[in-house]
Structure 1
């Protein structure tokens, strides 16, 4: 448990600054009466019971990750949440990546093992065998096409797909002089994780079961994740569960909505993380299906008067505040991270600011130990030299910053701003100037508004006193609260899950790899038509 030292107890009452409204104060106070606000520092997920292999585990899959054992053999990692609300990583074993290549004339069944050995000898530089098995299969290459003999080439290590494919397509394979005329490869361009999803029909938010005595608990010292539970299981033992009713549709997912406030330049322009500090971070923690956030916490730079219904954690040093927030984030262990325009402002700003302050441990916010949530390109793209950030509207012109924004592996990331932009295109365009701003969106959909603080007042409130910083903290908390209300009112999460399931792609790739939907559809059509799809020239290799 992390140790933070707030200046004020959240139960102590203070008067509000002169420019703040009372409505949101009443909302927060009402929350404190309706929920048991956790004691300061007690926002971690409840500890799971001790693992017993005699009990089965039912969980809902959130995210998927390609991985490898120390031996190099491929694994699929499934991140999820159990029906009791514990985070879990499941290592799925014994699922090989594979592709197809036309069997040349004269190739016989007895050539399979010798060809496998031959290809592995060509790849001796890798240090370990790469091809695990080669089989002969009869397939077609189009609907109602004639049967053709193919080699199904399976790999120990999915990362070597291109090298193995190139041996056949480049003419390097001279086994018995049967491969002198290179042919097209088939289905080598399917990413390993997508191959797994298509072959098993384990899609976004699928419920799965680990039967008792058929999985192994990973020792703490050998874990690769910071999930509460980590196990391994063979593919053949993994079971798909069918949802009985709407109450079982979603696990008790932890949702974190956050918003940051930063200092402004002296000329009033938008800030640059290389110079302007992060001065507040507002957080709202909710559980899917519940109406009221179970935790409301704001981190402030400088002392801040207490807020009824919220934790106020104040710091005199920005670096300590940012590190404390990163520990808070990891202890909360959110399954879904949301906010308004967080992929183009809040997340890049935090990462770039932490880099400016040399906070090397800050970016480790995903569920994979030792893996940073950092994309170096984001520094250049989101904050180009000699320019400043603008409103969501002006920033949206730099479309490449949205997919390039680093996410948090093992957690789902949903930017409500981009959801509104994509699903309500009538709000986009110069004719509707300002209609994508949070205040306008909240007013139209929620009949609510942001707190009445102009952005030019932010540095004034910050440099004032504990009461003015309290006013700014209310503003920051409200900006974290409104996306939660929009998420529920517009069913943003449910809609994105539906899109991901229909496209047979992971939830997070809807943001970072938009064209994957087209790739998946191409192979889904081939599967339903019972034929193989040739790899288009120039398509991204797996």
Structure 2
């Protein structure tokens, strides 16, 4: 019997084909198989389940027959790639298709075609995918780490930058704030301000739908940002409206918790919105997989990857000019810290004091503040490292309260 009964009509046709057996030595002999063709994957699974049970066919045998099922565990899209000789990641050409008027997705192009119309294109170009990188800022009732279940621990800012794959600069910067915010036009940042947290969250949903990125990324978004968004949206009673984050029209993205165990990452629980049509990448997990660092806090990771040796120091009034070999990755108004080592231990200068960059050239960094020239004496090696900013969490809470 086929269950559910709705799948009975999913069987379309059958035919006898000749092919090789995968297991055992057969000297390349071809055998006869019955190929079954179905309307959809659900119907195929229902028939597969039925055929795995012993069949009683008295005209053929007194004993129940157990059929050998082949290739039932291959996903239809993989079978399609094999038949049409397509690459899993690559381009296809479609000559014959029909435009869909009901718009099942928010993509610019919605078409339907027969799989036999898919033709492989030998082209190694990579599409300039749109990458959205976002970060949350939250307030706290008592100054401790924010807890999503507390009324006062609100999401007060959601900052998002958009870039295209292969380009080093963002093409669009955007921030959503709870309450008023100064204009950030001089930084080319668009600001949206709202009076309620519900509006803040729904504005981000609208932003994702409007820009329609291919990839959504951030730092520790699987550990903090996505779970916090989920919990606050649930608490505020807007979960269904907020979670329309996929490319499918009116689709509510399911929130998933997946346990992952590996030698590189150990045991992890990944928490995220499943967004059909978009890829989610947590940069923190990538760094943990590929590098062994003493700390995976964002400041420590930035300092590890964006740093250069200090070749000389020049005091000029209340500023210090740092001579270096390279200033790649830095911009004016960014912050840096100074590290030094004697070959045995690594120390932070003035407990990791952050210096703001006033002027920048290819080989010099002018910072606000004094760095003692004696620091580079006595055989020490001195490095500048990029720092996140000089704003403490308590300052964010104070400024939000006004």
For residue 399 of structure 1, what is the aligned residue in structure 2?
Answer: 268
For residue 142 of structure 1, what is the aligned residue in structure 2?
Answer: 23
* CA drift at 1:407: 2.8
* CA drift at 1:124: 8.5
| Structure 1 unpaired stretches of 5+ | 1-118, 382-395, 465-542
For residue 477 of structure 1, what is the aligned residue in structure 2?
Answer: none
1:174 to 57, 65, 70: 57
Q: Does 1:446 align with 2:303?
A: no
Counterparts in 2 of 1:141-540, with a 5 A limit?
Answer: 141-142=22-23, 144-145=25-26, 147-172=30-55, 174=57, 176-177=59-60, 180-211=64-95, 214-219=96-101, 222-243=102-123, 249-266=125-142, 268-273=144-149, 275=151, 276-307=153-184, 308-309=186-187, 310-359=189-238, 360-375=240-255, 399-400=268-269, 402=270, 404-424=271-291, 426-427=292-293, 432=294, 434=295, 436-447=296-307, 448-464=386-402
Task: Indicate the structure whose relative CO is greater, using CA pairs within 8 Å and at least 6 residues apart.
Answer: 1
* CA drift at 1:230: 0.6
Counterpart CA distance in 2 for 1:347 and 1:164 is 39
Counterpart CA distance in 1 for 2:237 and 2:45 is 38
Provide Cα deviations, 1:48-78, integer angstroms capped at 9, x if missing partner: xxxxxxxxxxxxxxxxxxxxxxxxxxxxxxx
Counterpart CA distance in 2 for 1:453 and 1:305 is 17
Task: Give the root-mean-square deviation of aligned CA atoms.
Answer: 2.6
Q: Sort the Cα spacing of 1:440 and 1:319 in 2 relative to 1 into closer, same or farther, 3 A.
A: same
For residue 63 of structure 1, what is the aligned residue in structure 2?
Answer: none
Q: Sort the Cα spacing of 1:127 and 1:283 in 2 relative to 1 into closer, same or farther, 3 A.
A: closer
Q: Sort the Cα spacing of 1:270 and 1:204 in 2 relative to 1 into closer, same or farther, 3 A.
A: farther
Q: Sort the Cα spacing of 1:407 and 1:376 in 2 relative to 1 into closer, same or farther, 3 A.
A: closer
* CA drift at 1:377: 5.3
CA contact (8 A) 1:134 1:151 kept: yes
CA contact (8 A) 1:123 1:130 kept: no
Query: How many correspondences in the alignment?
Result: 311
| Structure 2 unpaired stretches of 5+ | 260-264, 308-385
Counterpart CA distance in 2 for 1:344 and 1:203 is 33
Larger radius of gyration: 2
* Structure 1 SS opposite 2:93: strand
Q: Sort the Cα spacing of 1:329 and 1:163 in 2 relative to 1 into closer, same or farther, 3 A.
A: same
CA contact (8 A) 2:178 2:195 kept: yes
Provide Cα deviations, 1:402-460, integer angstroms capped at 9, x if missing partner: 2x522321112211111111222x23xxxx2x2x2221111111232211233344322
CA contact (8 A) 1:155 1:161 kept: yes
Provide Cα deviations, 1:377-421, integer angstroms capped at 9, x if missing partner: 58xx9xxxxxxxxxxxxxx87613x2x522321112211111111
Question: Which is richer in helix?
Answer: 1
* CA drift at 1:127: 6.3
Provide Cα deviations, 1:139-158, integer angstroms capped at 9, x if missing partner: 31326435443222222121
Structure 1 stretches of at least 4 aligned residues deviating more than 6 Å after TM superposition: none
CA contact (8 A) 1:366 1:411 kept: yes
Q: Sort the Cα spacing of 1:200 and 1:237 in 2 relative to 1 into closer, same or farther, 3 A.
A: closer
Counterpart CA distance in 1 for 2:248 and 2:137 is 28
Counterpart CA distance in 2 for 1:313 and 1:123 is 52
* CA drift at 1:135: 2.3
For residue 359 of structure 2, what is the aligned residue in structure 1?
Answer: none
* CA drift at 1:376: 6.3
CA contact (8 A) 2:7 2:43 kept: no
CA contact (8 A) 2:86 2:119 kept: no
For residue 321 of structure 2, what is the aligned residue in structure 1?
Answer: none
CA contact (8 A) 2:103 2:110 kept: yes
Q: Sort the Cα spacing of 1:292 and 1:377 in 2 relative to 1 into closer, same or farther, 3 A.
A: closer
CA contact (8 A) 1:263 1:271 kept: no
Question: Which is richer in strand?
Answer: 2
* CA drift at 1:305: 1.5
Task: Calculate the TM-score normalised by the size of structure 2.
Answer: 0.70
* Structure 2 SS opposite 1:126: helix
Q: Sort the Cα spacing of 1:123 and 1:314 in 2 relative to 1 into closer, same or farther, 3 A.
A: closer
